[in-house]
Structure 1
Amino acid sequence: MKHLYSVMILLLCIPSLIFSQYKDTTYINLGGAVRFNTMFTIYEGNTFKLPTENRNGIFWDVLRFEVDGKAKGIGFDYEYRVYPGFNCHFLKKGYLSYDFNSQYSLELGITQKPFGMLPYLGNSWWFQLPYYVGLEDDYDTGIKLSHISDSGNFRWKIAYFIMAEPRGQSDPEYGSYTSARYSYDVIPLDGYNGNKERNQANIWMEADITNSITGGLSFEVGQIYNSNIDESTPHYAFSAHSSIDLGKKMNIKLQGTYYNYTDIKNDEGTKIVDYINMGAYGFGTYQAAKEATILSIGLSFHQPVNWGPIESLTFYEDYSYMFKSGKINISGQEFSFIDTQHNVLGFLVTAGFVYAYFDIASGINQPWLSDSFGGTALSTGRGENIGFAPGEETDQGEINRLDDSPPFNTRFNINVGFYF
């Protein structure tokens, strides 16, 4: 705990050492986006008639509003999102910023956690698998100091987050209010009492190794506070990433990620468990293994075109594999958690203010690629009888054992957005 507070004090003190006059530019920008989604799913070997709400049909994905600006050297950046399909809305980000000079800048508020490939590891609408355990494009509440060298070849960020971002509003029939958020965070199962993120520190650094290769490292340490027993347990994560340009059009992204929530207890605080509860988008919580290693690779090829309004095509392939630690006892037998795979093959079309993603997303134990959303996909893995927790007796009296060779679930997805 003392080390975490020391990081916060350091962040507050450093600016006074590096402060210099910076030319003031006053401006304000307004923007946003409207996105629509259509999909066709093959989950658990089955599909659905057309159209089916939020499955095989067309629905409104998101409406978002953005505003950023600067006055007297102080900048601000806010983004609010509405998801009609999930009956929820929330603030994605909202922070004040200050550029002390061309090398140092500070952000205070709900800002992006410096971890892994920035700003995104994934190339597609789906992100990569670390997003679903809160380790890609995650926003928390705190303070962040950023630095870039004179040459621009070396960058670092250090941050302290007192808590996750505040919740938005959602429909309790979908899940607890606490899950109304953009980033996946550790939250209580009932939304109020239990495990919550507190006192987190992050260190991120990246260097240009050559003109076409960058490499970076990330470190995270924090606490999970259990309000039922007034106790905190530690968690930590680290990551190594690299971006490789092959010519002017092709890129490879590589990342290895490890995280561990040590000695985590259930929300009641009665026993140590092998999973954490995470939630977002007002859709309640799902379980994720408390310890895992995720390997990710992303390939992309960008081709400018001049086809009427169409300006460019970007083809991509994103793949992640999640190696889980953990076991579950079923009828006196121990079974290891079943790993998760995530793959997205697709392309992006840009035409003026329009961005359209065409994706074939496939996964094994991927929480968003199943007719039983969330659940235990990222922890124990799916059982043979979908819709029941592993080890639970079904209404036919059968035992839902883990499936060592689960099938890929697939979703054909088109997301079209107009950005303004």
Structure 2
Amino acid sequence: YYMGLEDTYNTGIGLSYQLSQWRFDFAYFRQAAPKGSISDNTLDNDVGNGRYSYAVVPTTGYAGNTLVDANIRELNHFNLRARYKLNENIEFGVSGQLGSIYNKELNSRKWGTSTALHIVADYNKWNFKGEFISYNYNAQGNNKEKLDILQMAAYGAAYDVATKGNIYILGLAYMIPINRKFIKYIQPYIDYSIVDKHKKEYFNIQHLIPGALFSMGPIYTYVDFALGKNQPWLTSNFGEGLGKGTANARWNSRFNINIGYYFNQ
């Protein structure tokens, strides 16, 4: 999510097709979602920080160790996902993205690709999720040099992101039925992810989240204890975590409670 690859709302169109045990999803996105507005004048509205979804923004980047201007944005992304239901409990999937990053100063673009493999498996009350992602934000600065770090933004703040790497994700959850008046079930879970950046001199990111979901009718409450190393919202140095990172970064933590009310259609 923090790298613009999940829960991302962009401007485009999508199609889905079901064929026996296969499901195919295709989407074309012309550009990132509108940048939105934020009222705090201390934050930079011009780069589109007011949006919910993280997207590449026109600020600066790094080519090697050199800070350069980068008037860039996402443009023309094609996404394809194929999922196969082996049975009611196991799903395999493959995803791909072809997209360009446009440099307004140079009036040119660079194309990059991202691919992913995933599995979702249920066994009795257990649920397992696993995913591998290889991403490449191919972009160039205003000086025509290839960027090793670009900036992404949402929620009123921009930060560095390494342009190339691999992401490994694991999640395990267990369903505990309650079926009482106020609580339907409790689902403890633990999620872990690591970002292995392409450049050897950059430092990896780790994100570990143990917690539990409480289902109370239309109310879903997540209570978890998020821990991270070089994770932008859980780090001693906000701007560098997803970029170069910090050597021997310590684990930082945040206690989180999220309550949502879901309306039936």
TM-score > 0.5 by shorter chain: yes
The equivalent position to 2:161 in structure 1, one of 261, 275, 288, is 288
The equivalent position to 2:84 in structure 1, one of 190, 207, 218, is 207
Contact 1:261 1:291 in 2 (8 A): yes
Counterpart in 2 of 1:274?
Answer: 148
Task: Confirm or deny that 1:259 pairs with 2:135.
Answer: yes
Counterpart in 1 of 2:63?
Answer: none
Deviation at 1:239, TM superposition (A): 0.3
Task: Confirm or deny that 1:165 pairs with 2:36.
Answer: no
1:10-29 correspondence to structure 2 within 5 Å: none
CA–CA distance in 1 between the matches of 2:196 and 2:236?
A: 23
1:244–1:286 CA distance, 2 compared to 1 (3 A): same
Identical columns (%): 36
Deviation at 1:232, TM superposition (A): 0.5
- Bigger proportion of residues as helix: 1
What letter corresponds to residue 104 of structure 2 in structure 1? Answer: S
Counterpart in 2 of 1:360?
Answer: 225
1:163–1:224 CA distance, 2 compared to 1 (3 A): same
1:135-154 correspondence to structure 2 within 5 Å: 135-149=5-19, 151=20, 153-154=21-22
RMSD: 1.7
Return 5+ residue gaps in structure 1 as ranges: 1-130, 328-335, 383-402
Counterpart in 2 of 1:370?
Answer: 235
Q: Which has the larger radius of gyration?
A: 1
Counterpart in 2 of 1:186?
Answer: 56
Q: Deviations over 1:242-278 (max 9, x none)?
A: 101112x21100100001123x223x34532211211
Q: Deviations over 1:166-203 (max 9, x none)?
A: 1211134233341211211111128xx71100011111
TM-score in terms of structure 1 length: 0.57
Deviation at 1:370, TM superposition (A): 2.5
CA–CA distance in 1 between the matches of 2:212 and 2:113?
A: 34
What letter corresponds to residue 255 of structure 2 in structure 1? Answer: F
What letter corresponds to residue 209 of structure 1 in structure 2? Answer: L
Deviation at 1:371, TM superposition (A): 4.6
1:3-402 correspondence to structure 2 within 5 Å: 131-149=1-19, 151=20, 153-170=21-38, 171-177=40-46, 178-189=48-59, 194-247=71-124, 249-262=125-138, 264-266=139-141, 268-281=142-155, 283-326=156-199, 336-373=201-238, 375-382=239-246
Aligned residues: 252
User: Partner of 2:59: helix, strand, or coil?
Assistant: coil
TM-score in terms of structure 2 length: 0.89
CA–CA distance in 1 between the matches of 2:166 and 2:54?
A: 17
Contact 1:228 1:269 in 2 (8 A): no
What letter corresponds to residue 194 of structure 2 in structure 1? Answer: Y
CA–CA distance in 2 between the matches of 1:308 and 1:320?
A: 36
